[in-house]
Each structure stands twice: as structure tokens, then as C-alpha cells.
Amino acid sequence: MREALGAWQAPESVCWHITTRDTAGVSRNEYASFNLAEHVDEPLARVVQNRQLLEHHLQARYGKSPHLNWLTQVHGTTVHKLSEGLVRPVEADAAYTDVPGQACVVMTADCLPVLLCDDQGREVAAAHAGWRGLASGVIENTVACFTASPCRLQAYLGPAISKQHFQVGEEVRQAFMDASSQSALKSSVAKAFVDDPLNPGKYYADLYALATQALNALGVMRVYGGSACTYENRQHYYSYRRDGRCGRFASMIWLRAS
């Protein structure tokens, strides 16, 4: 069950923000103009300046910029629980916090950013969900961090590559099938992969559907977003599948500080 893009009304105490590549920044060429990733082949000074510009933008828009916690993402399933004062990036693909003013941040350029919060607006999390992380359980691990029950959680699926542009091999489909323990879930997972009639053994994979299935299976039934394609929207989003060398945009969520 998934609602339309832009329909998410998070609790009042929850702030969330997704950057775009066409924000006025200092990145150049294929990284233009608002790349936020340090691991791509762009001078670090430009990335640092873009991150500073982001903080200024958040302060102007929300009244106060949160502390942005940048992860070293490795397509895994580790969730880092943030605490006040965290300044050093850690190796993880999701972040959770119940501390106001601490932002959970993930960077993507085709992979799926998943933002979560509880109905009371006391806990938030962000997950970087590419196909490897999805198949291995990054969503399950992130939901498990919440003290609120899954039925009291809601999720937003940010911009990612859409099914019609995400061709994968049999090994990807099989990874999801192997991870599905219930026969009913296997049937749903199979429907998220459409055969490529011109390339036997190749499929078009629906990351939005796979993430929604994982969330619903856990009891998270209110899932919003899931229709903005990074591949198709060159103006707003970076896409690794489309361009190869490219920057990364960021999706973040945090609790308002009093």
C-alpha cells in the first residue's frame, strides 16, 4: 500500500528534506551543481562548500539547521544509532535517532532513500536501500531500532530509479526470492520483477514495490512517495545508471530541537 508522491504529512515535530542537483552550488561538469558526496572524483573543497550551503539553506527554511550526520555507505544493513555530538562519519547504510536536532542523512543516485518516523514524532530514521541492502534486510534492521511498534510507523520513499530503467540479472531476482521466507511474500516479490523480452535472463526490478513489500510485511502499512525517477529527471537528480560519473543528492530527516 503506497500513497502518491508528496502526500506525506509527517508529525509536526518531524522535519524532512531532499536535496536536488540543480540547487545553486559549486560543483562543476558532471557533478553540477550540488553534489554532496566526498567519495566521488570531485575536489573535496567543493563538497565541503556545498554542505555548508546546505546548512545555510536548512537554517533559512526551518529556522535552525540540524546537525547533519554523514554516513560512509557500503550497500550493507548496518544501522547507526545517533547520539548528540557525533562528528565522525561511520560505516553504515541507515541511521536512527530519538535525539532532537540530529539529522539522519543518506546519499543516493538511483538507490532508494527510505525515511521513517513514528506517529508521535519522537523517533526518526533514514535508510539507503539499493537492491543489495533491500535484499539483505536494511529496512528490517532500521524498523527494529524503533521502540514504537511497526503499526505506529510511517515511511516515505524518496527519488530512485524506476522499474522501466532498472534492468538486473537473475542473481538479483534470486537474492530477493531467497530472502522471502513466506510463499505469499515470494509471490509478491516475483511480481516486482518483469521479464525483459529482448534479453532472456534479464528483468526490470521495481525498487519501490520491493521496499513497500518489506515495510508492509513488518506491519508498516502507511508508505508514501515512490514515484520520482532519478533516471528520467536529469534536472533534479543524479543517476549513476544513466551517467556513470555523477554526484549524490541527500535525503534527511530529524526531530525539531526546542
Q: Is residue 249 domain-resident?
A: yes
Q: Same domain for 79 and 176?
A: no
Q: Same domain for 98 and 222?
A: yes
Alpha-carbon distance of 104 to 49, in angstroms, equals 20
Q: What is the pLDDT of residues 194-208, one digit of tens each?
A: 999 999 999 999 999
Give the domain extent around 250. 14-162+208-255
In this prediction, residue 258 carries a pLDDT of: 73
Q: Same domain for 77 and 198?
A: no
Grid coordinates belonging to 224: 508514501
Percentage of residues of the chain with pLDDT beyond 90:
88
In this prediction, residue 83 carries a pLDDT of: 79
Q: Same domain for 186 and 68?
A: no
In this prediction, residue 3 carries a pLDDT of: 53
Which residue type does 113 have? P
In this prediction, residue 5 carries a pLDDT of: 45
pTM of the predicted structure, to 2 decimals = 0.95
Q: Is residue 3 domain-resident?
A: no
Q: Which residues contact 256 (CB under 8 A, 6 or more apart)?
A: 12, 13, 14, 15, 62, 100, 101
B/e letters for 193-207, b = 16+ CB within 10 Å, e = fewer, are beeeeeeeebbbbbb
Strands 79-81 and 94-97: parallel
Cα angle vertex 47, ends 46, 51, to 5°?
A: 115
From residue 181, how far is each of 134, 136, 248 by CA, in Å?
A: 15, 13, 34
Q: What is the pLDDT of residues 82-133, one digit of tens each?
A: 976 556 778 999 999 999 999 999 999 999 999 999 999 999 999 999 999 9
Q: Same domain for 191 and 158?
A: no
Q: What is the pLDDT of residues 148-161, one digit of tens each?
A: 999 999 999 999 99
Q: Same domain for 78 and 191?
A: no
Q: What is the pLDDT of residues 191-244, one digit of tens each?
A: 999 999 999 999 999 999 999 999 999 999 999 999 899 999 999 999 999 999
Alpha-carbon distance of 31 to 7, in angstroms, equals 30
CATH of the domain at 99: 3.60.140.10
In this prediction, residue 87 carries a pLDDT of: 60
Task: From 60, 90, 59, 58, select the one nearest 74 (Cα to Cα).
Answer: 90
Q: Is residue 8 domain-resident?
A: no
* Mean pLDDT across the chain: 94
Average pLDDT over residues 33-57: 97
Which residue type does 254 have? W
